[in-house]
């Protein structure tokens, strides 16, 4: 609390002035008491006027807005000798914020934003500045200080990420947030002004975002070329889909009961000749925007079924492979024919294919063609996995209606569930529901042994996540499988709790 920034608090001293004037019976004290206070308030208001950044404040969080940060950075660049002590700008963007809105509703999502704003403000110094940029993005200006090296700035970014990963109380329970951060050093700003530095930090954030949740990237000149090459990307993608650069990587799913590998999920990767491995977050939007989603699903389906055959030939019986189908694929009237044709081509029965459908595709759809495709995939014998379960609002009747085989409990529920009672209760409730509806369960994003064993104890049948293995190219599965299976007999198994 800063008394001098809040003149209203000085009103608290009014009784003291009155008491003194009364006890001394001196009219000057009374005049002083009545005039001093308004004068002080006016002075402080004037000071406040000078220091209040222009552009007003954000109504929800009370933070200043974008213009205030640009103005501060402009002042920094205008200061003589600015180049000798670097300042920095950070853009902080909450991960998967849209799912907060869907999961908790607008009021609680707003609360998350206010808590985020508070956390950011308490993590920086008085002469730094935090502003709200838009819905779920904030920016920070870090004022130049002694020892402000890149390392120091990165450790501030790291501290911010840790502050944001603390549990957030919402609606009688807790949730977790994480954020991507883009950093731009004033010394690397394309132009010496606030707008340019902020844009550089935003670009770094976009690059971070493409690397997944919780990523951090520092602006470099190359990012400028990356952004201007987004259009070229769409063109490259068309070729990549045809020349084998889009590859399915595979992430194992294992039984909590026996430890056996029960499947692999196929996840798309682009092996770019210059840029290395590009993640789907970076290229899926371009695929979608250029209408190539169906081609992607053909490529992925082909490689996934081919992988099943290859594992079989190498002596590994993998019960099923999971392929992700989005709304666009599910609207293709020829989808089921294509799936059938591919299965036949490899001589595989339909139950070896798990089609992963996002929960919101099932919950939102009244689209006849999607309904017909899901029913036809079912009739063919394919398994349906409900992806990201808990983030959308699939009704219980939809689970039955589409004959969902398995729900995939979203990573946001699994994170830290071994340490957090609220997370545990949530997962436990989902598992009870799955059990009652007689659908199988798989927890995704299992990163630690603690989460793994807690899920096993709660009766979750399958787990998938970095704690078991990261997605890998097909070739690597032939090293991973024997190594994993070799360790199996030595691994003590926690028996899954089964209710009668």
Residue numbers 207-226 binding ligand C2E by CB under 6 A:
212-213
Per CB under 6 A, the list member of 64, 259, 459, 465 interacting with ligand C2E is 465
Residue numbers 346-365 binding Ca ion by CB under 5 A:
356
Cβ atoms of 335 and 342 closer than 8 Å: no
Which does residue 359 bind out of Ca ion, ligand C2E, none, counting CB within 5 to 8 angstroms by kind? none
Considering the complex, state which of residue 91 and residue 305 has its C-beta at the smaller distance from Ca ion: 305
**CA dist list (Å): 356 to 238, 325, 353, 387, 472:** 24, 6, 10, 6, 19
Which does residue 95 bind out of ligand C2E, Ca ion, none, counting CB within 5 to 8 angstroms by kind? none
Which does residue 300 bind out of ligand C2E, Ca ion, none, counting CB within 5 to 8 angstroms by kind? ligand C2E
Considering the complex, state which of residue 251 and residue 378 has its C-beta at the smaller distance from ligand C2E: 251
Strand intervals (E) in 135-293: 137-142, 168-170, 173-175, 179-185, 216-218, 246-255, 261-272, 276-278
Count the alpha carbons within 13 Å of 366 in the hemisphere toward its beta carbon. Answer: 0
Q: Which of 60, 199, 73 is nearest to 136 (CA)?
A: 60
Cβ atoms of 205 and 224 closer than 8 Å: no
Site for Ca ion contains 128 (CB under 5 A): no
Which does residue 280 bind out of Ca ion, ligand C2E, none, counting CB within 5 to 8 angstroms by kind? ligand C2E
Torsion of CA 282, 285, 290, 292, to 10 degrees: 80
Site for ligand C2E contains 182 (CB under 6 A): no
Considering the complex, state which of residue 236 and residue 385 has its C-beta at the smaller distance from Ca ion: 385
Considering the complex, state which of residue 279 and residue 360 has its C-beta at the smaller distance from ligand C2E: 279
Q: How far is the CB of 175 from ligand C2E (least distance, A)?
A: 16
Torsion of CA 275, 276, 278, 282, to 10 degrees: -20
Handedness of CA 55, 56, 60, 62 (dihedral sign): positive
Angle ∠(343,349,355) on CA atoms, nearest 5: 70
Torsion of CA 402, 101, 217, 246, to 10 degrees: 20
Which does residue 447 bind out of Ca ion, ligand C2E, none, counting CB within 5 to 8 angstroms by kind? ligand C2E
Q: Which residue has its beta carbon closest to ligand C2E?
A: 465
Give the x-and-dash track for 407-426 against ligand C2E (CB under 6 A): ----x---------------
Which does residue 178 bind out of Ca ion, ligand C2E, none, counting CB within 5 to 8 angstroms by kind? none
Sequence-ordered list of residues with C-beta below 8 angstroms from that of 400, at least 6 positions apart, any chain: 437
Give the x-and-dash track for 366-395 against Ca ion (CB under 5 A): ---------------------xx-------
488-499 per-residue burial string, b: 16 or more CB within 10 A, e: under 16: eeeeeeeebeee
In whole angstroms, give the CA distance from residue 255 to residue 339: 26
Site for ligand C2E contains 449 (CB under 6 A): no
Cβ atoms of 253 and 440 closer than 8 Å: no
Site for ligand C2E contains 388 (CB under 6 A): yes
Which does residue 439 bind out of Ca ion, ligand C2E, none, counting CB within 5 to 8 angstroms by kind? none
Give the x-and-dash track for 309-348 against ligand C2E (CB under 6 A): ---------------x-x----------------------
- The three-state (H, E, C) secondary structure of 189-227, written as one string: CCCCCHHHHHHHHHHHHHHHHHCCCCCEEECCHHHHHHH
Q: Binding segment for ligand C2E among 228-236, 256-264, 439-447, 454-462 (CB under 6 A)?
A: 439-447
Where do contacts with ligand C2E occur on this chain (CB under 6 A)? 212-213, 251, 267-268, 279-281, 284, 296, 300, 324, 326, 356, 387-388, 411, 445-447, 465-466, 471
């Amino acid at each position: 609390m800063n008394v001098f920034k809040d003149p209203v608090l000085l009103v608290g001293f009014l009784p003291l002035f009155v008491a003194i004037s009364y006890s001394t019976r001196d009219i000057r004290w009374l005049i002083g008491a009545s005039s001093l206070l308004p004068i002080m308030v006016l002075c402080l208001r004037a000071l406040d006027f000078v220091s209040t950044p222009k552009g007003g404040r954000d109504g929800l969080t009370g933070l200043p807005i974008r213009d205030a940060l640009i103005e501060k950075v402009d002042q920094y660049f205008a200061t003589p000798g600015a180049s000798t002590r670097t300042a920095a700008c950070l853009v902080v963007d909450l991960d998967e914020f849209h799912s907060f809105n869907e999961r908790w509703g607008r009021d609680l999502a707003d609360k998350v934003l206010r808590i985020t704003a508070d956390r950011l403000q308490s993590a920086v110094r008085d002469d730094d500045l935090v502003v709200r940029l838009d819905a779920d993005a904030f920016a920070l200006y870090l004022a130049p200080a002694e020892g402000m090296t890149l390392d120091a700035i990165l450790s501030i970014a790291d501290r911010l990420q840790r502050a944001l990963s603390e549990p957030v109380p919402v609606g009688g329970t807790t949730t977790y947030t994480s954020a991507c951060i883009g950093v731009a050093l004033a010394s690397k700003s394309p132009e010496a002004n606030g707008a340019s530095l902020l844009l550089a930090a935003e670009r770094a954030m976009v690059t971070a975002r493409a690397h997944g949740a919780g990523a951090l990237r520092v602006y470099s000149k190359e990012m400028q070329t990356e952004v201007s090459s987004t259009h070229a990307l769409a063109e490259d993608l068309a070729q990549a889909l045809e020349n084998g650069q889009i590859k399915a990587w595979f992430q194992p799913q294992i039984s909590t009961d026996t430890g056996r590998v029960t499947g692999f999920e196929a996840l798309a990767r682009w092996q770019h000749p210059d840029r290395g491995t590009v993640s789907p977050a970076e290229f899926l939007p371009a695929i979608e925007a250029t209408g190539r989603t169906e081609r992607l699903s053909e490529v992925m389906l082909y490689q996934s079924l081919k992988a099943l055959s290859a594992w079989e030939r190498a002596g590994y019986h993998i019960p099923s492979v999971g392929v992700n189908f989005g709304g666009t694929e599910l609207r293709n009237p020829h989808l089921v024919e294509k799936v059938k044709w591919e299965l036949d081509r490899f001589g595989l029965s339909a139950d070896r294919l798990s089609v992963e459908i996002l929960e919101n595709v099932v919950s939102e759809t009244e689209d006849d063609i999607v309904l017909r495709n899901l029913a036809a995939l079912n009739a063919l014998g394919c398994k349906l996995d409900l992806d990201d379960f808990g983030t959308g609002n699939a009704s219980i009747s939809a689970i039955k209606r589409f004959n969902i085989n398995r729900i995939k409990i979203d990573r946001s529920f699994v994170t830290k569930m071994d340490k957090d009672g609220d997370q545990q209760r949530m997962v436990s409730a989902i598992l009870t529901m799955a059990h009652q509806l007689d659908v199988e369960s798989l927890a995704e994003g299992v990163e630690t042994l603690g989460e793994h064993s807690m899920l096993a104890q709660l009766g979750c049948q399958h787990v998938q996540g970095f704690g078991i293995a990261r997605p890998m190219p097909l070739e690597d599965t032939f090293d991973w499988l024997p190594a994993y299976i070799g360790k199996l007999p030595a691994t003590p198994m926690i028996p899954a709790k089964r209710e009668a």
